[in-house]
Amino acid sequence: MRGGSSESNEGVGAGSPTHGLFLMGQAREAAAAAYVPYSRFPVGAALQTASGDVFTGANVENASYGLTVCAERTAVFAAALAGHREIVAIAVAAPRALRASPCGACRQVLNEFAPVEGEMTVLLESEDGYQTTTLSALLPMAFGPRDLA
Ligand SMILES: [Zn+2]
């Protein structure tokens, strides 16, 4: 099952350049599995959980366009279904657009699984590999599970 595979990367921080390139490579590979007959705009995502597991996702479109689901969310749902609740990093690759950034809906879904401590690193594909930002930079003053506690 694509997106359900996991690979342990314990001991390798999501912030390390080598690991960042690994995650971005996984995102690029995932983009090849995207189902995008309408937009022809494939996107892949690869996230790392707090335990070091990696999950991938790709966008899946639908003839009823509004039902399309983004790569980031398919990856998040795969991780959540495997029992993970904290995502420390996510790489997003869109072969047709460098620096493609998660949409608003995905930012909110990512926030649901933001690390309890520290930031979620977001890697965007760039000419020389990737550039990093954080979820809180992309979604400031987010409403999330802690607001309901
Ligand atoms: Zn999205």
- Active site includes 72? yes
Note whether 4 and 74 are within 8 A (CB): no
Please report the domains of the chain, with CATH numbers, ordered by start residue: 6-139 (3.40.140.10)
Catalytic residue among 10, 29, 61, 72: 72
Whole-Å CA distances, 57 to 46, 77, 117, 122, 128: 6, 9, 25, 15, 23
Residue 11 pLDDT: 36
Distance CA 36, CA 43 (A): 9
Note the pTM of the prediction, 2 decimals: 0.89
Low-confidence ranges of the chain (pLDDT < 70): 1-15, 17
Alpha carbon of 107 to ligand 1 centroid (Å): 7
